[in-house]
């Protein structure tokens, strides 16, 4: 059982690493991109994005800092270091980042994967809430159900539907005196919740300790983490396709045409990268370079599964029986590949081997393409 919980928190950590890329990518350019319309969907990328004009449709945003101060008539798909939503969103909110603060009404559901998730008192969710977070603070009003996994959690507002919470071992669920729960509260933890006397509960909370919870219940929480991680990978794939579509196609071509050299270069970088960084850390002069190498190493761990998925999708779509799908948009094929790669890497035993091979293979292709690019600039 302990292994299941450990795997779940590894997935949460992976989601946090995915969020790092959304902080780094916009920082590469100081320019702020205002929303642009592509196939009826508005996109915005930059270091800091502040939405002050109403959006009549869906909005996709990726930036270091994101503030939404105007009404969104469709869905909001957002990724960033700090995210704050202050205006009405008519559809769903799907968010990935470091910090998410919600202080508005949402017409449908909220799906959030972040380091901290805070719903302030003005927030009003007409649908359901699903969250994976290090710290979760639920204020305002949620008319639907709540399903969340968090390092620590506090219930401050009103929840009309049932709530099912998974907490890290040793953490205590806090139910504040302003909390009001009309449905059943079920929480999975190693310690009982701290319930204030003023809290309004329609029925006693159900405490399921980790010692007594069945393996099936643990798997439920584990799969919640897997879904959160998959969501993060799909959002990351969208950003990569948006920012560097030609480079992505070049890397996938390299991986397919020269698989063995790609595996060789990837293995060399997987082993040599950390060793080189450690050697550089010994010297004061090499410290900045060591930090830079480690940063690129971590980013490589984040982006290579997306590259592997894109390569798998390109390989599948090259089969004769899938010729009719060759006209798919790049984003659709990459998303398909990411899902296939996640399914394959979820297989017992074999999945771990495929994950390592996929990461090394993609790493090698990235390095080989980048070497040619730099050689061309010289």
> DSSP assignment, residue 33?
P
What pLDDT, on a 0 to 100 scale, did the predictor assign at position 108? 95
The tens digit of pLDDT for each residue in 304-359 reads 989 999 999 888 888 877 766 667 778 778 888 888 888 888 777 788 888 999 99
What pLDDT, on a 0 to 100 scale, did the predictor assign at position 4? 34
* Residue 7 reports pLDDT greater than 80: no
* Residue 105 reports pLDDT greater than 90: yes
Q: How far apart, in whole angstroms, are the C-alpha atoms of residue 106 and residue 88?
A: 6
pTM of the model: 0.59
* Residue 240 reports pLDDT greater than 70: yes
Coil, strand or helix at 31 = coil
The tens digit of pLDDT for each residue in 12-40 reads 444 444 444 443 343 333 333 445 544 45
- Pick the closest to residue 15 from 106, 150, 120 (CA basis): 150
Q: Own/partner pairs for 158-167, CB < 8 Å, 24+ apart?
A: 158/182, 159/183, 159/185, 161/128, 162/186, 163/187, 165/189, 166/8, 166/221, 166/224
């Amino acid at each position: 059982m302990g292994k299941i919980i450990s795997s779940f928190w590894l997935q949460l950590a992976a989601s946090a690493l995915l969020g790092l890329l959304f902080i780094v990518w916009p920082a590469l350019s100081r320019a702020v991109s205002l929303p642009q319309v592509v196939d009826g969907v508005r996109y915005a990328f930059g270091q800091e994005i502040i939405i002050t004009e109403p959006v009549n449709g869906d909005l996709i945003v990726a930036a270091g800092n994101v503030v939404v101060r105007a009404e969104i008539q469709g869905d909001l798909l957002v990724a960033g270091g700090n995210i704050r939503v202050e205006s009405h969103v008519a559809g769903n909110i799907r968010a990935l980042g470091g910090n998410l603060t919600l202080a508005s009404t949402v017409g449908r559901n909220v799906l959030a994967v972040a380091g901290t998730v805070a719903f302030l008192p003005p927030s009003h969710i007409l649908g359901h809430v699903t969250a994976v977070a290090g710290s979760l603070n639920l204020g305002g009003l949620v008319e639907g159900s709540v399903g969340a996994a968090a390092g620590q959690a506090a219930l401050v507002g009103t929840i009309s539907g049932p709530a099912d919470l998974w907490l890290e071992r040793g953490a205590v669920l806090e139910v504040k005196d302003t909390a009001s729960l009309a449905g059943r509260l079920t929480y999975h933890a190693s310690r009982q919740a701290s319930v204030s006397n003023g809290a309004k509960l329609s029925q006693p909370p159900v405490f399921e300790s980790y010692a007594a919870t069945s393996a099936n219940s643990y798997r439920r929480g584990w799969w919640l983490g897997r879904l959160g991680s998959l969501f993060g990978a799909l959002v990351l794939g969208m950003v990569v396709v948006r920012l560097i579509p030609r480079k992505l196609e070049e890397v996938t071509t390299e991986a397919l045409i020269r698989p063995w050299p790609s595996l060789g270069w990837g293995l060399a970088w997987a082993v040599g990268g950390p060793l080189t960084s450690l050697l550089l850390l010994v010297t004061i002069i090499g410290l900045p370079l060591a930090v830079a190498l480690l940063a690129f190493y971590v980013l490589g761990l984040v982006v290579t599964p997306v590259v592997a998925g894109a390569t798998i999708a390109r390989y599948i779509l090259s089969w004769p029986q899938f010729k009719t799908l060759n006209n798919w948009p790049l984003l659709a094929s990459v998303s398909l590949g990411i899902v296939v790669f996640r399914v394959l890497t979820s297989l017992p035993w074999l999945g771990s081997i495929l994950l390592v091979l996929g990461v090394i293979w993609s790493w090698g292709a990235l390095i080989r393409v980048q070497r040619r690019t730099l050689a061309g600039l010289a």
